[in-house]
Amino acid sequence: MSVLTEPAPGHAPDRATLAAALRHANMPSLVPVLYQLTGDRRWLAEPYRPTRSRGMEDNDPGGFGDAVRDEICEATADAVLAWSAGRAPAVPSPTGAELVELLELAVGEEVPAEYGEMAADDMGFAPAEPTPTVPPTDFRVIVIGAGVSGMLAAIRLAEAGIDHVVLEKNDDVGGTWLENAYPGAGVDTPSHLYSYSFAPRPWSTHFGKRDEVLAYLREVADDHDLRTVIRFGTEVTAATWDDARQRWTVTTAGGETLEANAVITAVGQLNRPKIPDLPGLGDFTGPLFHSARWPADLDVTGKRVVIIGTGASAMQIVPAIAGTAERVTVFQRSPQWAAYNDVYFTPVDDAVTLLMEHVPFYRRWYRTRLAWNTNDRVHPSLQVDPDWEHPERSINAVNDAHRRVFTRYLQAELDGRDDLLAKALPDYPPFGKRMLLDNGWFAALRRDDVELVTEAVAAVTPTGVRGVDGTTVDADVVVLCTGFETHKLLHPMDVCGRGGALRDIWGPDDADAHLGISVSGFPNLFLTCGPGTVLGHGGSYITIAECQVRYIVDALTTMVTEGLGAVDVSPEAHAGYVARQDDAHSRMIWTHPGMQNWYRNAAGRVVCTLPWRIVDYWAMTRHVDWDAFSVEPAR
C-alpha cells in the first residue's frame, strides 16, 4: 500500500459499493462531509447531530438510529456521485466560524475558536500560505538524523530550495522505527494521526505496528527522493560554531568534517538506550540486550526470558512473546497505568479505506476528530487543583475519575488474581508517568507461564537475574526494557557554541531551549524534539515535528532572503520562555512526588515534556518571533 491521494472526481465506485462502504463510515466525520458537498444546512441540525464521544473511542455510529443513519448515508452517496460527475462542493474550504461550527458538529461539544485555525491549516482549508522559497544560494544546512523529524526537515528544505544534506548513523531511514524491532513494537497514537499531514496512508490497523510504520517512512522517503540527500552510516560526533565565519563545522565518527551555515538536529529523545548500572551485566552467558537492540535473528521459542522494566516497550514485548517463550519473568520496579482502547487490535475495514480514497473531505474529518479526541483533551485534567482533598492519589476531581475508570478496568482484567492486582495497581495519579495502552499486558500477566516479580533487581548472574531478596531467576535471554537517556539531549554529541559546550551549559540532565528549538549562544542551531517538546498529555509527535520544522524553515528562508549570517535567540528570550515553561510545569502532574518518570530530572525539574496545549504550541511556532533573536548580516 502506498500513500493515499486526495479523492478526485470521475473515479467514484458504483452506487452499491459506495453505499455499502458508507455503512462503515465514522458517522460524526461523515455529516460535515455531507454539508460540505451539499451546502444544505438541514444536515447541521437535529436529528443529524452526532452525539459526543467520550474519551478516545471512535464513536462510529454517532449515536444515530438506523433510520437517520441510512438517510445520511443515502444522501452522502448521492452527493459523492454528483460531485464525482462534476458538481463542485458547495462549501469546499470552510474556515473561521463556519469551520468551528462544523468541528462542533463532528465532535459533539464546544470547540474554542483557536482550534478552528489549527484545523483549517491541517485540513488544507486555510488559504495556502505561499511556500517560502529562496533564490539559488550557497547557504547550506546539515540535518542530523533521518527519522520522522529529519525526513520532514529534508522535505521542507527541498521545497524551500535550500541546499542540505542529512547525516544518518544508521543504514536506512526511520530512526526509532528502524531501531526498535522488538516483537510487538508499534504506535499507541492512532495511525491516521501518526502520519505526516501531507502523506496520509491507508493504514491496515488503527494502531500501526512497527513494520508498517517503517514501510510508510520508507515510502515517504522514496516519494520525496530523500535518499539522494541522506548520507547513511554517518554518525555525527561533534558540531562547533565558528563566529568569525558564521559557520558550523560538523565532525563525523569517521573523522570527516563538513561545514554548513545552519544545523538542524533531528535525533529524538528516545534514541540512546539507558543501560542500568547492575552488577554482573557483562557476565550473563546468553543474549542480553536493550529493547531497542533486539537481535533480528533471535528466536525465543522455548526460551526462559527475563524482562527488566514495565514501561511502554515491555508492555508490548511481553504479550508478543508470552506463549512462545517457555517462561517470561518480568521484573517490575513500578506499576503502570494502562488504558483500554476498543480498536487497538481492530484492522481498518477496507470499506473505510475506500471512503478515504473516494469521498472528498472524509479522511480530513476522520483525522480531525482523532486529533480532537487525542490532542489536548486531557490537558486540563493534568493541572493540579491546590484544594483537592486526595492529593496523594490524584491531582483533581477529573484525574480522580480517570483513576476510577482505569482502576475498574485493571480490576476487571485481573479479576480473581488478587496477587497480581496488589502488584499491578499503581498508587500514583494516572498520567503521572507516560500513559500506556493495554495491548494485552494484563492478559499476559494472567498466564501461568508469565510471572510478575516486584523484587528489585540486585544483579545479573551468568545464568540469570538475582533479586535483592536473593532469589535467582534462571534465564536464557535477558531484555533490558529500561528506557532511554531522555535527559541527555543530543548526547553523545559535543556541541560547542559561542558560550562553550552545550553539555556544560545544560549539565548532565537539565536541558532547555527557547520553544524547545533554539539555545542562546548557539546561533543557527535548531533542534527538533528538543527539551520540553515531548507530548506527555496525548496527540501525535508528528504534529509537533511539523510545527517545529515549519518554524525552522521559516527562520532559514528569512536568513537567506534577508542576507542574515547568524541568528541567535537572546538570553532574555530564552530564559523568559524557560521560566514560563517551568512555571506551567510547577502546576502540572509531572512534578507529583508519588512517582518517578522519564520526563523530569534528578532535581525534579520537568525537562522533556511540553506543558502547553498542542494548539498553543502550534500558535507559538506559527512564525518566527524575530524579536526574540539577535541577528547579524552575513559576512
Residues that bind ligand NAP in the complex, under the rule CB under 6 A: 186-188, 270, 276, 291, 308-314, 316, 331, 333-334, 434, 457, 481-484, 596, 598
CA 123 from centroid of its chain's CA atoms: 19
Backbone angles phi, psi at 350, to 5 degrees: -55, -35
From the CB of 26, what's the least distance to ligand NAP, in Å?
A: 23
From the CB of 429, what's the least distance to ligand NAP, in Å?
A: 14
Q: Which residue's CB comes closest to ligand NAP?
A: 311
By beta-carbon proximity to ligand NAP, the closer residue of 167 and 185 is 185
By beta-carbon proximity to ligand NAP, the closer residue of 104 and 188 is 188
Task: Spell out the residues 6+ positions from residue 423 whose beta carbon is closer than 8 angstroms to its own.
Answer: 332, 335, 452, 454
By beta-carbon proximity to ligand NAP, the closer residue of 187 and 473 is 187
From the CB of 160, what's the least distance to ligand NAP, in Å?
A: 30
From the CB of 276, what's the least distance to ligand NAP, in Å?
A: 3
By beta-carbon proximity to ligand NAP, the closer residue of 354 and 450 is 450
From the CB of 187, what's the least distance to ligand NAP, in Å?
A: 5
C-alpha closest to that of 198 among 176, 220, 214, 178:
220
By beta-carbon proximity to ligand NAP, the closer residue of 337 and 484 is 484
Whether 96 and 116 have beta carbons less than 8 Å apart is answered as yes
From the CB of 126, what's the least distance to ligand NAP, in Å?
A: 30
Q: In what order do the strands lie in the sheet with 230-231?
A: 230-231, 163-167, 140-144, 262-265, 525-527
What's the helix, strand, coil split of the chain in %, to 5?
Answer: 35, 15, 50
C-alpha closest to that of 93 among 132, 68, 113, 121:
121
From CA 510, how far away is CA 490, in angstroms rounded? 12
C-alpha closest to that of 401 among 386, 388, 412, 418:
388
**SS3 at position 540:** coil
By beta-carbon proximity to ligand NAP, the closer residue of 243 and 451 is 451
By beta-carbon proximity to ligand NAP, the closer residue of 26 and 313 is 313
From the CB of 196, what's the least distance to ligand NAP, in Å?
A: 17
From the CB of 136, what's the least distance to ligand NAP, in Å?
A: 41
By beta-carbon proximity to ligand NAP, the closer residue of 274 and 605 is 274
How many separate helices (H) and strands (E) can be counted in the chain? 18, 22
From the CB of 543, what's the least distance to ligand NAP, in Å?
A: 15
By beta-carbon proximity to ligand NAP, the closer residue of 94 and 186 is 186
C-alpha closest to that of 271 among 506, 529, 513:
529
Cell numbers at residue 124, please? 488544507
Residues in the chain: 635
How many CB atoms neighbour CB 389 within 10 A?
8
From CA 595, how far away is CA 266, in angstroms rounded? 29
By beta-carbon proximity to ligand NAP, the closer residue of 82 and 181 is 181
By beta-carbon proximity to ligand NAP, the closer residue of 506 and 599 is 599
Cell numbers at residue 613, please? 496545549
From the CB of 283, what's the least distance to ligand NAP, in Å?
A: 16
From CA 402, how far away is CA 73, in angstroms rounded? 35
From the CB of 433, what's the least distance to ligand NAP, in Å?
A: 6
Please, how many CA atoms are within 13 Å of residue 195, restricted to the half-sphere of its CB?
A: 29
Where b means 16+ CB within 10 Å and e means fewer, 92-128 reads: ebbbeebbbbbbbbbbbeebeeebbbbbbbbbebbee
